[in-house]
Structure 1
């Protein structure tokens, strides 16, 4: 990588633009970044050159159309490093809920002329289509994590991405455990940190926005929800099959509590 003036791009695929907005919300840090790098493609920031060759490419959104399958391969070809940002890019996103149903039936129910809409059967993570160098989870992604990854690469170092559980962050913040003390179905024990334990810090259960941490015991947590919180199996499955429903650990747990047989389950 040429560090005299590295080039950066931010690409959007199927998503709500929330992670790009989180990027923009870095404020002064973004202005500093624009002095250190050439931001050559970032539609939300006013630069449009999707075919540019760059050193670092951030990708927001999942792959859900044939055109996106082609575009993401071009992004990989034109980029030294590819970093996915957000739940859509890393685990299919909320739109991947369609993977559990017939997308053709949904299309017919929504659009008057569904035949004019080009869509894939499933919404999939970027890593299903190309090699990804690093993944930054979240819904939306944490702005600080994005900037830290860039600083690391500018310093010729690999980004160090934390995979601690939200529970660890709660301990650091001195939070009262909402799972034990308030009997709320908190996903913190199986979710990786990144948000600073935002929801538990205001007395609410974690929603699992940042995806599973390393080696999560999802079934044990689900059984806790059932035994101590009184949740039905469908309600437990819904906790896992939400924002990061295509993350393997959450997907398998959700299907387990829905009673769906999982092939080659370890």
Structure 2
């Protein structure tokens, strides 16, 4: 009698890594907040490296790496290159990773002044002169914007890479989302300064829905005509310095690039 056939090995699952650089952890928490959907992802992906969720981490290679945070220290610069080398696909998540984040505001002043103000022993601190997005240092396969990112968009990106297709992330402005929600335009109706016309959709027009102007959390829309918006913001009581502060709060390097390039 012949021996029974050996049981077939289940096909290996693609491996997911989640990495943090200079950030507040909010975008990683968005993944944890997926809750029930996260259980489904765990069935399809081997979550090999995610220190925010588990201390049981494994080395690469990774089929998909999600990277949160900006490059702000010499150690970051070395580590992001190692992550890129170990990753088949690398996706940056959130304003810090895609545009330097709030911490990139320090790029407009000398780092020595900040170090002396914040730290009792600044000589112990190793920091780069500027806080920069991941794409300034390594190739990036997709950028998911937001501060923080949108939960539904994150699930779409992970699912798309699992299926081998392009993520279906909208490229229109927040104004489009306002129209879909039936919002009255806060700028037209109330004279409230709003970055919605030049900001990438993704938040569901959260601030305008509650009567506030958009703050640009999701960075510049793919087609951005900033010079056409500036006169409206002047009309609503903002000077050039106010507008610069408004633009540079969350997505410092992204909006700076739009200003330098002119109308999209």
Cα distance in 2 for residues equivalent to 1:50 and 1:173: 44
> Is residue 178–residue 200 contact of structure 1 (8 Å, CA) maintained in 2?
yes
> What do the CA deviations read for 1:94-125 (whole angstroms, capped 9, x no partner)?
00000000011110111121111000000000
- Structure 1 residue 50, shift from structure 2 partner: 6.5
> Is residue 92–residue 245 contact of structure 1 (8 Å, CA) maintained in 2?
yes
Partner of 1:206: 214
- Structure 1 residue 90, shift from structure 2 partner: 0.1
Alignment RMSD: 1.6
> Is residue 22–residue 143 contact of structure 1 (8 Å, CA) maintained in 2?
yes
Identify the match of residue 251 of structure 1 among 233, 239, 256: 256
Partner of 2:16: 8
> What do the CA deviations read for 1:77-103 (whole angstroms, capped 9, x no partner)?
000000000000000000000000001
> Is residue 19–residue 66 contact of structure 2 (8 Å, CA) maintained in 1?
yes
> What do the CA deviations read for 1:37-66 (whole angstroms, capped 9, x no partner)?
110111111145374211000000000000
Partner of 2:106: 98
The alignment partner of 2:253 has SS state of: coil
Identify the match of residue 244 of structure 2 among 228, 237, 250: 237
Q: Which residues of structure 2 form unaligned runs of 5+? A: 1-10
Partner of 1:66: 74
Cα distance in 2 for residues equivalent to 1:216 and 1:135: 17
Identify the match of residue 216 of structure 1 among 213, 216, 224: 224
The alignment partner of 1:81 has SS state of: strand
| Of 141-150 and 7-16, the range deviating more from structure 2 | 141-150
Partner of 2:64: 56
Partner of 2:180: 172
Cα distance in 1 for residues equivalent to 2:116 and 2:56: 34
The alignment partner of 2:43 has SS state of: helix
Superposition pairs of residues 37-186 of structure 1, within 5 angstroms: 37-49=45-57, 51-186=59-194
Q: Which residues of structure 1 form unaligned runs of 5+? A: 255-261
- Structure 1 residue 219, shift from structure 2 partner: 2.1
Cα distance in 2 for residues equivalent to 1:52 and 1:153: 17
Cα distance in 1 for residues equivalent to 2:158 and 2:64: 8
The alignment partner of 2:89 has SS state of: strand
> Is residue 227–residue 262 contact of structure 2 (8 Å, CA) maintained in 1?
no
Cα distance in 1 for residues equivalent to 2:158 and 2:114: 39
Q: TM-score, normalised by structure 2?
A: 0.92
Change (3 A) 1:157 1:253: closer
Identify the match of residue 22 of structure 1 among 16, 30, 53: 30
Cα distance in 1 for residues equivalent to 2:15 and 2:250: 31
Cα distance in 1 for residues equivalent to 2:56 and 2:50: 6
> What do the CA deviations read for 1:118-165 (whole angstroms, capped 9, x no partner)?
000000000000000000000001111111111112212121221110
Q: TM-score, normalised by structure 1?
A: 0.91
